[in-house]
């Protein structure tokens, strides 16, 4: 994956990313593929 996607972010989520995930989960529920699609670079 590292070689195929050099733009991929690695490591822990930032505070802003965590807040976005929580917000999207409250709207979308457990539709994780849709949530992941809204997290650029992840």
Tens of pLDDT, residue by residue over 5-18, are: 777 888 899 999 99
Give domain status of residue 6, yes or no. no
Question: What tokens were used for 21?
Answer: 């995930």
Give domain status of residue 27, yes or no. yes
Tens of pLDDT, residue by residue over 24-41, are: 999 999 999 999 999 988
Q: How many domains does the chain have?
A: 1
* 7 CB neighbour count, 10 Å cutoff: 6
Q: How confident is the model at residue 2 (pLDDT cuts 50, 70, 90)?
A: low
Q: Which pLDDT belongs to residue 9?
A: 84
Q: Which pLDDT belongs to residue 7?
A: 79
Give domain status of residue 21, yes or no. yes
* Domain of residue 41, residue span: 12-42
CATH number at residue 27: 1.10.10.60
Give domain status of residue 29, yes or no. yes
Give domain status of residue 32, yes or no. yes
């Amino acid at each position: 994956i590292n070689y195929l996607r050099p733009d991929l972010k690695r490591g822990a989520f930032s505070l802003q990313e965590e807040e976005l995930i929580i917000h999207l989960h409250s709207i979308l529920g457990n539709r994780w593929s849709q949530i992941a699609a809204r997290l650029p670079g992840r």
